[in-house]
Amino acid sequence: MRARQSGRAPGLPAAPRSPGKRSPGEVFAVLDPATGEVFGEAVDQRPDELDGVVRGAGEAWRHWRADPDARTAALFAAADAVEAAAADLAPLLTREQGKPLAESHHEVARTAARLRFFAESAPQSLQPQPIEDGRPVRSEIHWRSLGPVAAIVPWNFPLQLASAKFAPALAAGNTVVLKPSPHTPLATRLLGSVLSAVLPEGVLTIVTGREPLGARLAAHPGIRHVTFTGSVPTGRAVARGAADSLAHVTLELGGNDAAVLLDDVEVQKVADRLFWSAFRNCGQVCMAVKRVYAPARLYSDVVEALAQRAKATVVGAGLDPGTQLGPVNNATQLARVEDCTSRALADGARAAAGGHRLDRPGYFFAPTVLADVPADSPVVTEEQFGPVLPVLPYRDLDEALDAANDTGFGLGGSVWGTDLDRAEEAAGRLECGTAWINHHAELSLAQPFAGTKDSGVGVAGGPWGLHGNLRPFVVHRPREERPEGGR
């Protein structure tokens, strides 16, 4: 079976329908967050359809795992195909997700780059490795693929996060069943259609539907690795679901990253980068800056610099030229952002910018900078995942680092200052997977990405991400076989 698609979006080529007969009612609506109105639909696949899909992925695996050269060629072709389809993929992604068109183009480019990265690097990573431990035997580690992989992703970066899962899984020799969020199924479905021209049947299958489709996929006995990105509660449910089949589990979960500004920071110099580290993609980034700790002496300057940028930001539909910040992706998320903000304001916080929904159709929220926020306010202690940034003052650095680490999350963090050695020393005290100095949330394809505490289990990115899709197989033999009775 090829990368299977279902449903139809206006203005797009019709994709093959999902397997099995279904009534016309078995679809769900896809909304444009810039208007709040329905603009497309996707097929609501039933959980029992996964049996056939996973069986097909298992059959395809037998051939896909056997020919690394063919895989490399197919993955390079996949990267080219994604790039060639950018003019169709990017506007559709913006339409269903909300982000500015330029950011959607960046997401498509990153998807292609990731395919190319793993096509290039997998052959080296898959080389057998000798174990030299002084014994008179030759031991060698070979790397074997796992089987069908379930990839389940959220709505904030539908293509980029999907490719972070399927590119290494496919390069390692596995096949993949990919389930996008029901909020953003259409660009993923189109991506599957594009890739079906270059990947063998059954190697990458897209399934769309509402819950319990994801729960059933995570728990399916034919799946050998569940790789999930999303919230902490759903991550726990996924791990429980995969427990019965003892499938490998990789979880990339939420974050509540702190940015700690040191007393030698040049506020105006870093303000743009700090602002966009928090507000890019409307704050819907797992490793966005979600709290800022500023020295008391600089506190009002930092609040003012961020508030000025928030007020100057052009908010609008992602397809409108000039838009810098789109809408929040969906009504539930908007309600959450609004609730966090109004609770902070009720607790005595001050909105230095924004603080409210925008009075227009769609899910727009004014870019918001909050000052004088109580440290126990949910906008500080939880993941707001929206265009709202609390700024908190501190008196000494130990206090700031303790506050930064006082969270169940451990995804990323950053320290900002002029003395880079001092900043690096402070960054080393952050309890997280990635610590940046004078920037935040920048990742190379070659580096590992892993959260600690509630932010995740397992590693994505680079050769480590590839190896998360493999198992070691050790071949152990004497260096030299002596004939029977030989000396």
Residues numbered 23 to 62 that lie near ligand NAD (CB under 6 A) are: none
Tell me if 218 contacts ligand NAD by CB under 6 A: yes
Answer yes or no whether residue 72 interacts with ligand NAD by CB under 6 A. no
Three-class secondary structure of residue 386 per DSSP:
coil
For residues 271 and 306, is the Cβ–Cβ distance under 8 A? yes
Selected binder of ligand NAD within 8, 99, 110, 179 (CB under 6 A): 179
Q: Which of residues 105-134 bind ligand NAD (CB under 6 A)?
A: none
Tokens coding 58: 């298992």
Contact by Cβ (8 Å): 448, 462: yes
For residue 234, state whether it binds ligand NAD (rule: CB under 6 A): yes
CB of 332 to ligand NAD, least distance (A): 8
Should residue 98 be labelled a site residue for ligand NAD when binding is judged by CB under 6 A? no
**Which H/E stretch holds residue 27?**
strand 27-32
Strands 37-43 and 470-478: unpaired
Whether 20 and 45 have beta carbons less than 8 Å apart is answered as: no
Q: To which residue do tokens 């769900």 refer?
A: 28
CA distance to 276, 332, 451, per residue, from 288 (Å): 9, 20, 13
Q: Shortest Cβ distance from residue 250 to ligand NAD (Å)?
A: 10
Q: Is 252 a catalytic residue?
A: yes
Does residue 253 interact with ligand NAD by CB under 6 A? yes
* Residue span 282-311 as binding mask against ligand NAD, x where in contact by CB under 6 A, dash where not: ----x-------------------------
Q: Which is nearer to ligand NAD, 81 or 226 (CB)?
A: 226
Q: Cα separation of 348 and 374, whole Å?
A: 7
User: Which of 33, 147, 148, 254 touches ligand NAD by CB under 6 A?
Assistant: 254
Residue among 156 and 469 whose Cβ is closer to ligand NAD:
156
Which residues is 473 bridged to in the sheet? Answer: 142
What is the greatest pairwise CA distance in the chain? Answer: 92
Comparison of 175 and 227: residue with beta carbon closer to ligand NAD: 227
Looking at the Cβ atoms of 153 and 294, the one nearer to ligand NAD is 153
Per rule CB under 6 A, is residue 229 in the interface with ligand NAD? yes
DSSP assignment letter at 303: H
- Judged by CB under 6 A, the stretch of 198-206, 229-237, 268-276, 340-348 that binds ligand NAD is 229-237
C-alpha–C-alpha distance, residues 286 and 57, integer Å: 30
Determine which one of 41, 96, 103, 252 is catalytic: 252
- In degrees, rounded to 5, the angle at the alpha carbon of residue 167 between the alpha carbons of residues 242 and 14 is 95
Cβ distance to ligand NAD smaller for residue 254 or 393: 254
Please report whether residue 230 would count as binding ligand NAD according to CB under 6 A.
yes
Residue owning tokens 């596995």: 174
Shortest Å distance, C-beta 18 to ligand NAD: 17
- Give, as ranges, the residues between 417 and 456 that touch ligand NAD (CB under 6 A): 451, 456
Residue nearest to ligand NAD (CB): 214
Among 231, 245, 308, 342, the residue binding ligand NAD under the rule CB under 6 A is 231
**Candidate ranges 18-26, 73-81, 246-254, 273-281; the one touching ligand NAD (CB under 6 A):** 246-254
For ligand NAD, the closer of residues 241 and 295 by Cβ is 241
Cβ(205)–Cβ(9) below 8 Å: no
Question: At its nearest, how many Å lie between ligand NAD and the CB of residue 421?
Answer: 29
Say how many residues make up the chain: 487
8 Å CB contact between 227 and 468: yes
CA distance 294 to 376: 17
Number of residues that bind ligand NAD (CB under 6 A): 30
H or E segment and range at residue 402: helix 397-405
Among 107, 252, 257, 454, binds ligand NAD (CB under 6 A): 252
Among the listed residues 402, 459, 410, 401, the one whose alpha carbon sits nearest the alpha carbon of residue 431: 410
Beta strands in 329-387 (DSSP E): 350-353, 368-371
Query: How many CB atoms sit inside 10 A of residue 358's CB?
Result: 15
- Identify the DSSP state of 3: S
Return the active site residues.
Answer: 252
Residues that bind ligand NAD (CB under 6 A): 152-156, 161, 179, 181-182, 211, 214-215, 218, 229-231, 234, 237-238, 241, 252-255, 286, 383, 385, 411, 451, 456
